[in-house]
Each structure stands twice: as structure tokens, then as C-alpha cells.
Amino acid sequence: MMDDILHWRTLVELGVVCFVCIVGVKWIWSKALGNEAKLPYPPGPTAKSWVAGNLSDMPLEGQWFLFTEWAKVYGDLTYLRVLQNHIVVINNLEVATELLEKRSNNYSSRPNFPMADLMGWDFSSTFKLYGDTWRSHRRMFQQYFRPEVVRNYEGIQIQKNYDMLFQLLNDPENFMSHIRHSSGAIILSALYGLDVAVKNDPYVSIAKKAMDNLTQAMFPGTFLVNTIPFLRFVPEWFPGTSFKRFARETKVYTDQMLNGPIEKVQQLMGMEGVRPCIAADMLENLRSEKELEDIKCVCATSYAGGADTSVSSVSTFFYAMVNFYDVQKKAQDEIDRVIGSERLPDFQDRSSLPYCEALLRETLRWRPILPLGVAHTASKEDIFQGYYIPKGTTLMPNIWGMTRDTSRYDDPEAFNPSRFFDKNGSLNNDNVDYVFGFGRRICPGRHLASATVWLSIVTVLATFDIRKKKDGLGKDIPVDGGYTKAILIHPLPFECSLSPRSKTAEALIRDAVPQLD
């Protein structure tokens, strides 16, 4: 696949020149360079080519690192042009708030992602254009994922979390698998009333495969079909079109994700054997085929996001605890002082554990799940701080850069939960909600995700010590800090040592899930 990407990049200028000749040099030039603008674009790197623009500047992965370096040169906004596509990278939290929230009537739509459509992700509310269908989906999300309703799922979260602790106790080597299983189990139970297998569950595997492929495909420049949409009509046998095969293979998983669980719920409802869940509640009030399609899309969007995003944050927590044992010890001391050792923490304890709350915030900040968020697009032209933003511009919030803002976070690469306390020792107002997005397109499942990650953090800290693993000579095996560089990041596989903090902690875990023992 990568060979084809590089091959396309080598040939792109020749192909685009041919395209220019067909449709007219003058028209393309005026649209690509925006001669209609009376004001300058935001500052940015000089285009390498009058046709391809900054295409060759765009790395195939980890673009947020480059964007963050560019921010030091160009400031809060960085302008790029990839062929005829305008891109503005937003590097500052206040600017992102001004544009994507205060001007959300103009910046709430999404760019066209042909590759997502080809892969079958067009069902996802995340990628829907701003309009009636998206508004319908958003109303459903608000009904089932607003904070007061999310509390209804606490029982599911607690039980599935206890199951994870039990698996960590009995099979600590495969801790990453248990984290993924727990996240998938929570969202599938809440959405569809489904239990998942402890290992190799097909529902969890389908979501993982579909999400993995999506995160590879969403960077500008990774697949040229996102930049040159007419390539989607090139036949699959044509050289350099491995993206079509990749999309076709992915669509098998997205179709299963969209239809499989909801069909199971409908089947169980027909036999009166379905558990109370979001999908069943929605289907009880079904009025039309259009509404059925909306229900399928909203549930599948929640399924995809909930089964993967929490995994990223919980695995980052494990990675951080391996490397910052002083933070782990401080959080454990707080848990021991407030809760003791005779019971497991639950949601009633959240307000009494401020350092653990700060630890959650630092986990979300230190390695944000989506370093570039999900791109917005300008529905109409705009002027901001004297700069011209054309209609159709793609706006990318550089969340990674915002979490590295030294005016907000001293020594941003350090993992330091104490940064979230004010001079009086109270939690400050920075709840890092921006890592979940902005404005009307902020992640509707953020309250459920935050609660899931918080519960994992406090229950694991209450019951386990997390250390670096030892080699045959008794020396610590280093954890090098590697992360994936796709649009949604995860730690690369690493080893750690998990051991119960005490016999009492072990007994608490076993007592919490006696049916599994």
C-alpha cells in the first residue's frame, strides 16, 4: 500500500497538469489560489509547486509533530494548499474556540472524505455534513449520552470494570487485550444489551479492524483520492489503486458493524429476550424506515468510537504508570486515605479523589486520543484576524499543539497531574474537554468515555502495582515511548509487571466477580 502511495505522489503533478488542461488552466488557477480574496491567507510554508501546492510538505503520518513546529514559525494559524484544497491548521486553543465554537454556524460541517465513503464509513455521524440528517443524529446522541443519562450506565461500567480487574489478576501478560475487551464490553452492553466473549469476541474484533483501517486513511495525502476525488472512479485494476482494494476489504467490517448488532437486538426483541439497552429503547418508538436508518447509524457510530477511544486513554494510563511511579504512588496514597482497603472505588468517590481526577486529565492531555481532532470545514467564506478563509477550507484543530502550549502547560512533555491544581490546592477549571473536539461537533460520548477511563484508573490503582518488567538479569526492561502515528493514537505494544497490592486487594477482585472464579 505504501509503495502505491509513494508512486501516486511521484506522478501526481503530471496527472494534475493533465487535469488542468482538460478543465481549463485559468479556472483552476483562480480557484486554487483564491484570486477573489481581498485579504491575505494566514501565514504558512511556501508552496513547493504552483499545481500541487504544499502536497510534498505533508508527511504520511504523525503530521501533528510538523504542524506544532510550524506553529512556532507561523503562529496561531498555519495555511496550506494541497492542489486546489485550502487547509488551515489551528494551533491555539482560544483561536479554536473562537472559530469552531463561537462561529460554529459556519464551521460545523465536515470536509469530503471520499476514502471514508468508499470504506463504508459514510454511515458515521462523525463524518456527516452539517444538515438535517446530522441534526437528527445529534438529537439521539443528546437523548442517550447527556451527563444525567450516562449515570444510568454506571452499573454496566462497574461490572465490566470488575471483569477487567479479574482478567488482569489471572492473566496480567495480556493486559492490553483485557483493556480492549472491557471498553468493548461496556459500549456493546449499553448500546445493544450484548455480552462479549472474554477473548477474540467478533464484535470487538470487527470494530478494531474497521477503526484501524479508518485511522490509516484519514490523513490528507495518505490516499490521494481524498485530495483528488475523481480517482474514486478509476477501476481497481488500474496501477496505483490499492486504495480501492483496501476500501473494499474495510467495507466488509463496517457493514457488519452497522448491521450485525442491531439485527441481533431486533431478533431478541421479537423473542422478548432483549435486555434493556439504548438500541431496544430506540426501536420501541420506531416510526419509519428513515428513522431505522438513523438508529443504525447512531448506534454504530457510538459502537465504533466507544470500542476504541477509551482503549487509547486507558492504555496511555498504563504506559504512564510504568514510567512515572511517583505519580502512581501519590494517587494510590489518596485512594488509601479516602477509601481504605476494604472496598473497591466506585463513582460515588469521584468528587473525593481530586488527584485521581487530575491524573485522568493529564492522561487525556499528555497523549490526546486524536492529535488533530476531526477536521471541520467552512460553509462560507470568512475573515479572521485580518486573514481570509475561503468557503470550503478544511480547518484542522492541532490538539497536540494545544496540549504542548507552554503558556498553558509548563514543561508539557512531563507527566504531571499536579499542573491541574491552583495555588490553593483545588482543581482548576481546565478539564481538557477540548481533546474531545469543539463546538457542535464535540464528541457526544465524552461523558461516558471520561467516566469509563476514570473508573479504570482508580480501580486499577486501588488493587495493582504497575511496574517495569524485569529481564533475565533482574534489570528493568525499558519502555521507549513509541506510539502509533495514525489519526487515532495508541501506545505501541509494551511490557509491564502487574501485581496485586495485597491479599486483601486480590480478595476484593475475586469477590466482585465470583461467577468467573
- Which residue numbers belong to the known binding site for heme? 443
What is the bridge-based pairing of β-strands 394-397 and 85-90?
parallel
Q: How far is CA 433 from the centre of its chain?
A: 13
Backbone angles phi, psi at 456, to 5 degrees: -60, -45
Distance CA 360, CA 415 (A): 11
Distance CA 67, CA 63 (A): 6
Binding-site positions read 443
Collapsing DSSP to helix, strand or coil, 388 comes out as strand
DSSP string, 327-386: HHHHHHHHHHHHT-SSS---GGGGGG-HHHHHHHHHHHHHS-SSTT---EE-SS-EEETT
Residue pair 250/119 in contact (Cβ under 8 Å)? The answer is yes
Under DSSP, the state recorded for 493 is P
Residues 6+ apart with CB under 8 A from 188: 194, 195, 196, 203, 204, 261, 303, 307
Backbone angles phi, psi at 38, to 5 degrees: -90, -15
Residue pair 466/328 in contact (Cβ under 8 Å)? The answer is yes
Residue entry with cell 476531526: 374
Collapsing DSSP to helix, strand or coil, 478 comes out as coil
Residue pair 365/435 in contact (Cβ under 8 Å)? The answer is yes
Residues 6+ apart with CB under 8 A from 466: 318, 321, 322, 328, 460, 496, 497, 498
